[in-house]
């Protein structure tokens, strides 16, 4: 499945729809292109960073060399349930010995470690042992939604200390504790895009600024409108956050930080020269 997805990205590149970002120069070039008002946006490719959610498709640690060669730059050890390298969401336990070996090789490549989906024990192990850049690509706040999938205040503080960015997640069960997968209806529970701002607010209060949050979305997480805020019909509705954040008292600089201003410097500092 991972190779099929990679083949699809490659075809989108052939068609000029997408452009892979593997280093700082490519990132800077793409940002300059999108900032160039002399060219129509419709003809510009969308940049993408190749990331892997759950490392199980790496048959053994040696496969990381192959993956890095075709552009993999961010990697999370686990997803749901047990895993080859680490247990994930709805499980408990430490990172496996293979996972610890994988972290060592990741650090040699200075890859971005995605802490999303790790168990609490795995989260602590990863932060203690990994010296490269870290982020939480799609994670919300456990103080608001008290289940193992969300970040505790202590975990958030640890991420802030490492200069991480935490991407807000739009899966309803990560936004509202009342939501139950395959049973609940976002419309009946009145779960709206704005509820994610409560999670962002909490992180901003701990940080004292808006420099560590962004849109993580998880909208490619194999769910549709049945599990998304009911005022969201498509990816285009993410633009509603500009008005929502403005109404909630966020400045124009804060809003720029959340939409792109926090991700771009993080990537610039993390990607290889």
**Does 227 reside within a domain?**
yes
**Does 106 reside within a domain?**
no
For residue 219, name the pLDDT band (cuts at 50, 70, 90). Answer: confident
**Does 222 reside within a domain?**
yes
**Does 6 reside within a domain?**
no
In tens, the pLDDT along 3-28 reads 999 999 999 999 999 999 999 999 99
What is the span of the domain harbouring residue 259? 137-273
The whole-model pTM stands at 0.96
Helix (H) and strand (E) counts for the chain?
12, 8
Q: How far apart are the first and last CA of the chain?
A: 30
Is the CB of residue 77 less than 8 Å from the CB of residue 54? yes
**Does 145 reside within a domain?**
yes
**Does 67 reside within a domain?**
no
- Residue 171 belongs to a domain with what CATH number? 3.20.20.140
**Does 167 reside within a domain?**
yes
d(CA 95, CA 83): 9
Q: Which residue has the tokens 């769910």?
A: 223
- Nearest CA to 137 out of 160, 157, 154, 114 is that of 114
Q: Which residue has the tokens 């890859």?
A: 111
- What is the average pLDDT score of the chain? 96
Number of domains making up the chain? 1
What are the phi and psi torsion angles at 128 (to 5°)? -75, -35
Is the CB of residue 106 less than 8 Å from the CB of residue 75? yes
In tens, the pLDDT along 66-89 reads 999 999 999 999 999 999 999 999
In tens, the pLDDT along 186-214 reads 999 999 999 999 999 999 999 999 999 99
Q: Is the pLDDT of residue 254 over 80?
A: yes
Q: Which helix H or strand E contains 48, and what residues bound it?
A: strand 46-48
**Does 37 reside within a domain?**
no
């Amino acid at each position: 499945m991972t190779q099929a997805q990679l083949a699809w990205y490659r075809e989108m590149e052939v068609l000029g729809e997408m452009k892979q970002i593997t280093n700082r120069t490519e990132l800077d070039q793409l940002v300059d292109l999108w900032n160039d008002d002399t060219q129509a946006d419709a003809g510009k490719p969308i940049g993408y960073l190749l990331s892997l959610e759950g490392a199980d498709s790496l048959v053994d640690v040696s496969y990381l060399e192959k993956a890095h060669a075709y552009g993999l730059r961010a990697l999370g050890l686990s997803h749901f349930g047990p895993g080859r390298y680490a247990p994930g969401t709805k499980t408990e336990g430490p990172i496996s010995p293979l996972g610890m070996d994988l972290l060592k090789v990741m650090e040699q490549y200075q890859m971005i470690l995605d802490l999303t989906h790790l168990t609490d024990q795995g989260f602590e192990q990863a932060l203690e042992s990994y010296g490269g850049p870290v982020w939480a690509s799609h994670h919300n706040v456990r103080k608001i939604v008290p289940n193992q999938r969300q970040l505790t205040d202590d975990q958030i503080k640890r991420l802030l200390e490492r200069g991480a960015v935490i991407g807000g997640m739009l899966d309803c069960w990560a936004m509202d504790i009342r939501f139950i997968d395959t049973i609940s209806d976002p419309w009946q529970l009145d779960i709206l895009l704005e509820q994610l701002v409560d999670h962002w607010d909490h992180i901003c209060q701990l940080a004292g600024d808006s420099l560590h949050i962004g849109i993580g979305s998880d909208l490619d997480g194999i769910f549709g409108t049945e599990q998304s805020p009911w005022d969201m019909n498509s990816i285009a509705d993410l633009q509603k956050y500009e008005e929502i954040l403005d109404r909630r008292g966020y400045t124009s600089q804060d809003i720029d930080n959340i939409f792109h201003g926090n991700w771009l410097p993080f990537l610039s500092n993390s990607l290889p020269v």
